[in-house]
Amino acid sequence: NENNSSNFIRNIIINDLETGKHDSIITRFPPEPNGYLHIGHAKSICLNFGLAKELQGKVNLRFDDTNPVKEDVEYVNSIKEDVEWLGFNWNNLYFASDYFDEMYKRAILLIKKGKAYVCELTPDEMREYRGTLTEPGKESPYRNRSVEENLDLFEKMRNGDFQNGEKVLRAKIDMSSPNINFRDPIIYRIAHSTHHNTGDKWCVYPMYAFAHPLEDAIEGITHSICTLEFADQRPLYDWFVKECEMENVPRQIEFARLNLTNTVMSKRKLKELVDEGITDGWDDPRMPTISGLRRRGYTSESIRNFCREIGVAKADSKVDSQMLDFFVREDLQSKAPLAMGILKPLKLVITNYPENDVEMIELENNAKDETKGTRLIPFGRELYIEQDDFMEEPVKKYFRLFPGNEVRLKGAYFVKCNDVIKDENGNVIEIQCTYDPKTKSGSGFTDRKVKSTIHWVEANTATPCEFRLYEPLILDDAPENEGKHFLEQINPNSIEILQGFAEPTQVKCAKSLDKFQFVRNGFFSVDNKYSTDNKLVFNRVVPLKSSFKP
Ligand code: ATP
Ligand code: MG
Ligand code: MG
C-alpha cells in the first residue's frame, strides 16, 4: 500500500467506487518532457500509480508534449526510465501530441458554437484587456467576428499563413468573470517549430488549459490529480470538457506540491543549474532529480516510503529534506553490508608485527542482523587509519590514538602509539605502534581496557577509492522569499572529494550503485559515471546519524 490512510484523494476515489459512480478508475501521470523528473514528481507518481495499483484501476503515463519549443526525446526516455526505476508500470503510454487532430476538431466545434474566436490583440494589449482581480476585463474588438470568419482565420493559422504571435484562438466566455481564468483564455497559439513527435505537421499548438482536460477526457481518466496551483482552473477545465462535448467527464482533484528545504524544485530551475555548469548534468548526485538521487545512492524503496510518510495534503508546506535521509538510512541499514573504508588515510605501522605476515580477521556484515553472516579481511604490519583518529597533542576528552595511548583496531588488536614520523614540513605522515597479541578480539582478554575502537584497512591489499561527500547545493531555505535569485544561493562547498582506501574483500568487485555502510563514515554507493576498473568512486548517500525523527 503506497498510500497513507489519511489520504483524502484515496477517500474520494473509494467513495466513487462504492457509490458506483465508477466501476473502475483510471489515473494518469502527465509530465511535460522538458526536463528530468524530480522528487516532487515522485510524490505524484506514487499517488497516481499507487492508487491505481491498490484499487485495481489503470494508470497512463502521458507525455504532455504540447509545447514544441522546450521538449526533447532525451527527456521522454529519462522519464520512462525513472518511473520504472521507482517501481511502477503504466498500463498505457500516450503522447498528448497524438491527440492534436482531435483537439483541433474540438476547437472548430467551439468556433461553430460561437464559443471561440480569433484574436489579434498583442500580448501587452491582451494583458491590459484582461483586467485584474478587482477590475473586470474589457472585450476584445475581435470578439464578435462571425463564425465563418473565425473558421477561415483559424484554418489560415493552421496552414501557416501567419507569423508566430500574430493571432491566437481564444475561448469566448466572460470578460467580467471574477475568475480571471474565464476571461477569454487563449486556446491555440502559432508556433513555427518542429515538434519532437509530430515534426512539422503543425504550426498551431493547443494551450495547457484547453489541452489538458481534453487529454484526460480522451483517455477516459476518472480522477485527474494535479497540484494546487490548478485549483482556480478547475471550473475552466470543466467548461472545456462540457463545451467540447467530451463523452468522458474526468474529475480534477488538487493536492499540495512537495517542497523540500534547501532544494529548488522546478525543472526550469534545475535546467538552469545544468546549463550554467553548476552541476554535473541532471543526474549530479546533489540534484533532487530522480536520476540524481539514484546516482547518489537513494533507493526507490526509500523514496516510496518517504512519499507515503509525507502523505497528501490540501495546503502547501515544506518538508525537511532530512526526512528523506531518515528513510534511506532505514532502508540501507538492512541492505548495505558493513565495510571499512578510510576517507583521509594515515599510515600506521605495527613495528612488532612480523614482516610479510598477513592474517585474516573475521567481521560481521551487519551489526543488527546475524543472518547476514561474516567476512574475512586481511590484517598486517602496515595499515591505514583515519587522520582524524590520531592527534599528536590530544585535546581534552580525546580517547583515540595519541603518543602513549592505546586503542583497539576494530575486530583485531590493541595498538599503542610510540612514535610519529613527519615530513620536512612537519606534517605527520606515519605513526608507529606496537600491538599486543594477547588482545585479539574474541580472545576473551580482559586484563585492561581501552576507551576507543577505530577502523582501519591493510595497506598492501586495500583497494584505492575516491569518496565524494556532499552538502546541500542550495544554502538558503527560501531564497525566493527574500527576493534573492536561487543562483546566488549556491553552496560553494557542496562537494568534497577525497582519495582513500577500502577493505578489499567485498568492495573490490563492487558494481555501479552497489551500497556499503562504511564503518563510522556513513552509507555509500558506487558512482555509475566515474568509477573505473582501477578505481571505484563512492558517493556518500548520507552520514550515519541525524537528529531527525519523523
Ligand atoms: P516543474 O515546475 O518542476 O516543471 P510541473 O508541474 O510543470 O513541474 P509537469 O511535468 O507538468 O511538471 O508535472 C507532471 C506532474 O507532476 C503534474 O501532475 C504535476 O502536478 C506533478 N508535480 C510536479 N511537481 C510536483 C511537486 N513538487 N509535488 C508534487 N507533484 C508535482
Ligand atoms: Mg506542467
Ligand atoms: Mg513546469
Look at residue 313 and tell me whether its pLDDT is greater than 90.
no
Residue range(s) occupied by CATH 1.10.1160.10 in the chain: 267-337+465-542
Identify the residue whose C-alpha is closest to ligand 1 atom 3. Answer: 266
pLDDT value at position 388?
96
Ligand 2 being an ion, which residues bring their Cβ within 5 A of it? 32
SS3 call for 331: helix
Give me ligand 2 centre to Cα 539, in Å: 31
pLDDT value at position 478?
58
Identify the residue whose C-alpha is closest to ligand 1 atom 14. Answer: 31
In 10 A of CB 123, how many CB atoms? 10
How high is the mean pLDDT of the chain?
A: 95
Q: For a pLDDT cut of 70, what percent of the chain falls above it?
A: 97
Residue that has been written with the C-alpha cell 548526485 in this structure? 285
Q: How confident is the model at residue 2 (pLDDT cuts 50, 70, 90)?
A: very low
- Condensed to tens digits (0 to 9), the pLDDT of residues 230-242 reads 999 999 999 999 9
pLDDT value at position 153?
98
Domain covering 341-455 in this structure, CATH number: 2.40.240.10
Angle CA(31)–CA(172)–CA(107) in degrees, nearest 5?
Answer: 50
Give me ligand 1 centre to Cα 515, in Å: 30
Does 39 belong to an annotated binding site? Answer: yes
Q: In Å, how far from its chain's centre is CA 4?
A: 20
The answer to whether residue 10 is catalytic is no
Q: How confident is the model at residue 480 (pLDDT cuts 50, 70, 90)?
A: low
- Please compute the mean of the pLDDT values over residues 161-167 and round it to a whole number: 97
- Condensed to tens digits (0 to 9), the pLDDT of residues 106-151 reads 999 999 999 999 999 999 999 999 999 999 999 999 999 999 999 9
Look at residue 37 and tell me whether its pLDDT is greater than 80.
yes
- Condensed to tens digits (0 to 9), the pLDDT of residues 417-447 reads 999 999 999 999 999 999 999 999 999 999 9
- Please compute the mean of the pLDDT values over residues 384-391 and round it to a whole number: 98
CA–CA separation, 265 and 37 (whole Å): 10
- Radius of gyration, CA atoms only, the chain: 31
Does 64 belong to an annotated binding site? Answer: yes
pLDDT value at position 1?
45
Ligand number nearest CA of 29 is: 1
pLDDT value at position 547?
61
Does 41 belong to an annotated binding site? Answer: yes
Write out residues with Cβ below 6 Å of ligand 1.
30-32, 40-41, 43-44, 64, 226-227, 257-258, 265-267
Q: Which of 115, 183, 257, 540 is catalytic?
A: 257
The answer to whether residue 257 is catalytic is yes
**pTM of this prediction exceeds 0.80:** yes
Q: Which of 32, 120, 155, 364 is catalytic?
A: 32
Look at residue 548 and tell me whether its pLDDT is greater than 70.
no
Does 70 belong to an annotated binding site? Answer: no
pLDDT value at position 482?
64
The answer to whether residue 440 is catalytic is no
CA–CA separation, 531 and 511 (whole Å): 9
Counting atoms of ligand 1 from 1, which one is nearest the CA of 35?
4
Does 334 belong to an annotated binding site? Answer: no
- Please compute the mean of the pLDDT values over residues 14-18 and round it to a whole number: 96
Ligand number nearest CA of 208 is: 2
pLDDT value at position 549?
59
Counting atoms of ligand 1 from 1, which one is nearest the CA of 43?
29
Query: Which is higher by pLDDT, 506 or 544?
Result: 544
Look at residue 48 and tell me whether its pLDDT is greater than 50.
yes
Look at residue 3 and tell me whether its pLDDT is greater than 70.
no
Look at residue 484 and tell me whether its pLDDT is greater than 90.
no
CA–CA separation, 142 and 89 (whole Å): 48
CA–CA separation, 453 and 491 (whole Å): 34
Lowest mean pLDDT among 6-10, 511-515, 522-526: 6-10
- Please compute the mean of the pLDDT values over residues 5-21 and round it to a whole number: 91
Residue range(s) occupied by CATH 2.40.240.10 in the chain: 341-455
Does domain 8-255 sit in CATH 3.40.50.620?
yes
Does 104 belong to an annotated binding site? Answer: no
Residue range(s) occupied by CATH 3.40.50.620 in the chain: 8-255
Give me ligand 2 centre to Cα 32, in Å: 6
Q: Which of 170, 267, 329, 400 is catalytic?
A: 267
- Condensed to tens digits (0 to 9), the pLDDT of residues 52-104 reads 999 999 999 999 999 988 878 899 999 999 999 999 999 999 999 999 999 99
Look at residue 404 and tell me whether its pLDDT is greater than 90.
yes
Ligand number nearest CA of 230 is: 1
Counting atoms of ligand 1 from 1, which one is nearest the CA of 225?
18
Domain covering 267-337+465-542 in this structure, CATH number: 1.10.1160.10
In degrees and rounded to multiples of 5, residue 231 shows phi and psi of -60, -45
pLDDT value at position 546?
75
Give me ligand 1 centre to Cα 45, in Å: 10
- Is 39 in contact with 290 (CB distance < 8 Å)? yes
pLDDT value at position 6?
65
pLDDT value at position 296?
98
